[in-house]
Structure 1
């Protein structure tokens, strides 16, 4: 095989290069940006999948992860098992999750949560949530609320178990896992 034929055979197409670039970007994306905050949040409420109305004041006394997501978001899909595992491990210690979809219908949220066997609270966003947390422009974005309902941390990007341990357990007053 001559050199020109060899190069032609092994030169990737522009589409292949674009796909490889996209895979590299998704795989090696920058880490989530975590900001430390200590600010109040205005009262908010959501209608959960079982039609119960959840009011923010009913969560006082618990450390809460308010997670904004969408079913189409690959990072959201990747972090949900982590959120579920952390919730399973820490809910008895006063940790709660409220997962708020930015654009899915209640029916789609219910179906998706049931398909994945997630049982933490999930709801679509609404005006009171937007007023309390701001218009979340990208997903996933999460807020960690302390037991008084104040925003203590904002996580712009995917959450990981060790990051949740680092941010949540001091608010719970419990030691991290060994």
Structure 2
């Protein structure tokens, strides 16, 4: 095989290059966008997958990660083990997670959580949650709520352990004073 034939055989088409670039971008997406907020969330309530009602008032005194997700979302699936690990490490210090599915029924959420062995709270969305946090346009999107019920941070995109630690631990220290 001559040199020109070899080069022609192994030169990718423009479409292949575009697809490889798209895969690389989606796999190595830029980090999540974090915005500082300082607003009081209106009272909200969800029905957990086990049928219990959970209200925002019952979480007062805790720092809470409210995580909007969907079972079909690959980035949501990738961040859940991180959220679970952080929750297990910090729940004894006053940290809680409420995982709100944007479109799945309670039975599907419960089965998915059980299959993955996640023990933090999960629920389908509700109108009061949408009112309290605003319209979530993309998943994953998370909010960090301080012990007094103020929304302190909005995370648009996948969360990472180090980022959670950076955002949550100062709020945990402040809530114990």
Structure 1: stretches of 5+ with no match in the other structure: none
Matches within 5 A, 1:114-129: 114-129=114-129
C-alpha spacing 1:15/1:116, structure 2 compared with 1 (3 Å): farther
The 2-side partners of 1:63 and 1:71 are apart by: 25
- After TM superposition, give the deviation of residue 114 of structure 1 in Å: 0.7
Q: CA deviation at 1:28?
A: 2.4
Instruction: Give the structure-2-normalised TM-score.
Output: 0.93
The size of the alignment, in residue pairs, is 174
Q: Distance in 2 between matches of 1:104 and 1:13?
A: 40
Please say if 1:113 is aligned against 2:113.
yes
Which whole-Å CA distance do the structure 2 matches of 1:151 and 1:49 have between them?
24
> In the alignment, which residue of structure 1 is the partner of 2:11?
11
Task: Give, in whole Å, the separation in 2 of the partners of 1:15 and 1:104.
Answer: 35
Comparing 24-33 and 42-51, the one that deviates more: 24-33
List 4+ stretches of structure 1 deviating above 4 A.
none
- Displacement of 1:29 in angstroms is 1.3
Q: Which runs of 5+ in 2 are unaligned?
A: none
Q: Match for residue 38 of structure 1?
A: 38
